[in-house]
């Protein structure tokens, strides 16, 4: 297909990754008459359970990727740790959105921060840490507590260590896995917010309102939509997301996590070129969810105004909390989503509950 063709219902969207984000994307696609084909290395993945096509293979399996490319009309991915080589290989055969360039920036913390700063948008002060010998001096330079983060493959606080004093440097280096790192100054934030933007092939961008995210043990627990007491900074936060999705020249959905600092600044912490946990509330809270807008962008439809229905709250069900599904479902005001995961390991995202507040 040419990259300008509008895909008609019945077309097949290939999704790399089989988690809950792929599952909810596939459900949105099905509602619009599209099929999804999941490519992932795990059997019975949450996304595979709601689609009739899965390629069970490693992301490096070129034969499986080639057959997948022939079987789909467009490709996306539902988590950003898919190897860039895999995405670039597919992009030579079938349209892939977001493209490999945007993915390369978003899966590398240094590239991401440099990109964000180049657009004149703030991040926490940071230093590159190629080697542990320089770490104590860099901690001194940043003057105060710091967070050491592995440059790649981090999520939900994994691959991170807090450093309060330079003498903690060696332990922190080992804790994050002794590899190329970014050292960030610890940000005194008032709250953490995120904005999700969606962009279509014509370059039109729509934005969901900034929401507040509250974490427990580095894992998202609560999202409040829109972010409370944030009216005066909504426009600025959304403008940042628009500049970033345009700067990445992305077709698809971009989530921008930010710190709202106690001195009134918005600093970008992380970018995710895919639907985001902090946007799950949009399924019930908006006329057009983040997943529907991703599908619209992928098939060549214009992205649609979100149509926010009112205030909403989303709570993640982590580990054994999902065992309470029957009690939760007894509340007609609670929309309970479960992801079909068998093993409820502590902290694992098993589902979520959204409540509309107005």
Residues in contact with ligand AMP by the rule CB under 6 A: 124, 147, 154, 157, 184, 186-187, 192, 215, 218, 257, 269-270
The least distance separating ligand AMP from the CB of residue 168, rounded to whole angstroms, comes to 16
> Tokens 């790192």 label which residue?
181
Tell me, rounded to whole angstroms, the distance of Cα 347 from its chain centroid: 17
The least distance separating ligand AMP from the CB of residue 215, rounded to whole angstroms, comes to 5
Pairing of strands 266-272, 252-261: antiparallel
Cβ nearer to ligand AMP, comparing 179 with 309 = 179
The least distance separating ligand AMP from the CB of residue 185, rounded to whole angstroms, comes to 6
Joined tokens for residue 66: 């080639």
- Calculate the alpha carbon distances from 82 to 16, 44, 167 in Å: 8, 19, 35
Cβ nearer to ligand AMP, comparing 144 with 302 = 144
Cβ nearer to ligand AMP, comparing 38 with 187 = 187
Residue 343: DSSP 8-state: -
Q: What angle do CA 120, 126, 129 make, to 5 degrees?
A: 135
Cβ nearer to ligand AMP, comparing 73 with 270 = 270
Cβ nearer to ligand AMP, comparing 186 with 325 = 186
Name the strand (E) or helix (H) holding 100: helix 100-106
Give the integer Cα–Cα distance in Å for 30 and 26: 6
Residues 34 and 301: beta-carbon distance below 8 Å: no
Give the integer Cα–Cα distance in Å for 296 and 25: 11
Cis peptide preceding 226, ω within 30 of 0? yes
Give the integer Cα–Cα distance in Å for 216 and 259: 16
Cβ nearer to ligand AMP, comparing 176 with 187 = 187
The least distance separating ligand AMP from the CB of residue 354, rounded to whole angstroms, comes to 20
The least distance separating ligand AMP from the CB of residue 34, rounded to whole angstroms, comes to 31
Joined tokens for residue 148: 């050491």
Cβ nearer to ligand AMP, comparing 113 with 201 = 113
Phi and psi at 77, nearest 5°, equal -140, 155
The least distance separating ligand AMP from the CB of residue 335, rounded to whole angstroms, comes to 25
CA atoms within 13 A of residue 171's CA, in its CB half-sphere: 8
Give the integer Cα–Cα distance in Å for 179 and 228: 38
The least distance separating ligand AMP from the CB of residue 217, rounded to whole angstroms, comes to 10
Cβ nearer to ligand AMP, comparing 127 with 296 = 127
The least distance separating ligand AMP from the CB of residue 305, rounded to whole angstroms, comes to 28
Joined tokens for residue 349: 């995202």
Residue 257: DSSP 8-state: E
């Amino acid at each position: 297909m040419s990259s300008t063709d509008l895909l008609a219902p019945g077309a097949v969207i290939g999704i790399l990754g089989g988690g809950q984000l792929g599952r909810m994307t596939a459900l949105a696609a099905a509602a619009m008459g599209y099929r999804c084909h999941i490519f992932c290395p795990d059997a019975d993945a949450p996304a595979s359970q709601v689609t009739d096509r899965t390629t069970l293979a490693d992301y490096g399996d070129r034969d499986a990727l080639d057959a997948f490319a022939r079987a789909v009309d467009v490709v996306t991915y539902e988590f950003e740790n898919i190897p860039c080589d895999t995405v670039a290989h597919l992009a030579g055969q079938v349209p892939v959105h977001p493209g490999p360039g945007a993915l390369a920036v978003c899966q590398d913390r240094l590239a991401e921060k440099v990109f964000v700063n180049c657009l004149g948008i703030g991040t926490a002060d940071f230093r590159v840490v190629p080697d542990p010998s320089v770490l104590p001096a860099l901690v001194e330079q940043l003057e105060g507590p710091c967070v050491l983060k592995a440059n790649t493959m981090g999520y939900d606080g994994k691959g991170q260590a807090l450093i309060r004093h330079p003498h903690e440097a060696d332990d922190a280096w080992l804790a994050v896995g002794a590899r190329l790192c970014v050292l960030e100054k610890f940000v005194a934030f008032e709250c953490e917010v995120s904005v999700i933007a969606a962009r279509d092939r014509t370059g039109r961008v729509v934005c969901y309102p900034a929401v507040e995210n509250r974490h427990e043990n580095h894992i998202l627990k609560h999202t409040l939509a829109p972010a409370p007491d944030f009216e005066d900074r909504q426009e600025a936060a959304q403008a940042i997301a628009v500049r970033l999705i345009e700067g990445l020249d992305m077709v698809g959905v971009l989530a921008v996590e930010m710190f709202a600092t106690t001195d009134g600044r918005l600093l970008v912490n992380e970018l995710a070129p895919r639907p985001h946990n902090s946007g799950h509330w949009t399924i019930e809270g908006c006329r057009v969810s983040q997943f529907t807008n991703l599908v619209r962008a992928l098939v060549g439809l214009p992205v649609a105004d979100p149509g926010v229905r009112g205030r909403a709250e989303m709570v993640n069900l982590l580990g054994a909390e999902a065992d309470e599904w029957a009690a939760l479902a007894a509340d007609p005001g609670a929309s309970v989503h479960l992801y079909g995961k068998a093993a409820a390991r502590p902290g694992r995202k098993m589902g979520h509950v959204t409540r509309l507040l107005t």
